[in-house]
Amino acid sequence: SSSQETQSSGSGIIIGQNDTELLCVTNAHVINGADTISVCFVDGSAVEASVKGSDTDNDLAVISVKLSDISDDTKSQIKVATIGDSSSLKVGEQVVAIGNALGYGQSVTSGIVSGLNRQLDDSNISMIQTDAAINPGNSGGALLNMSGEVIGINTAKAAATEVEGMGYAISMSDAMPVIEELMTKTTREKVSDEN
């Protein structure tokens, strides 16, 4: 047998900043097994990132980028996302999903909230169901309400020939306590090959 290195893509949300790092949240399945992680910003610049913390049970991860690695021009074009109240969502509300669909770069799809408090498989994670298109590469991206507030983290879609328009996002009400805990972890730098 042989192994081959591959590249994959996902999405993320700028969730916070401390004195030295910009913090982004994504899905744990986006970064699991990665040797290196890069964050590509809206202006096309890419910066190496490190893992702050990961919770596979809740499919959430926080990664960090050193502020010193981000150019001033890029800093002027980005900002920390505004978090909304996903517990006040109603079925039928309009939403927008933002992500890196198929690795093409930023994409935006719109839809409505189709269901609340959905459970996938054996998970205890509360999901928002939407008919906004959630495609490969959208994982970890933002599900926004019409005020531009993040109310969910895109994570999955139902895929089968008889299924259409069933995407899922982790509700921010459930995600924020996990994210806040992951943000406090010590950043893990990759161990060099010499050690």
Contact 112, 90 (CB under 8 A): no
The mean per-residue pLDDT over the stretch 36-50 comes to 91
pLDDT at 160: 59
**Would you give the distance in Å from CA 21 to the centre of its chain?**
17
The closest of 91, 79, 89 to 147, measured between CA atoms, is 89
Please, which residues have CB within 8 angstroms of residue 191's CB and are 6 or more apart in sequence?
none
Give catalytic residues, as residue numbers.
29, 59, 139
More confident residue, 186 or 70: 70
Q: Among 32-36, 46-50, 77-81, 118-122, whose mean pLDDT is lowest?
A: 118-122
For residue 169, pLDDT over 70 is answered with yes
Separation between Cα atoms, residue 60 and residue 55, nearest integer Å: 5
The mean per-residue pLDDT over the stretch 171-187 comes to 90
**Please, which residues bridge with residue 116 across strands?**
none
Confidence band for 189, pLDDT divided at 50, 70 and 90: low
Q: What pTM value is reported for the model?
A: 0.85
pLDDT at 182: 92
Q: Among 36-40, 62-66, 80-84, whose mean pLDDT is lowest?
A: 36-40
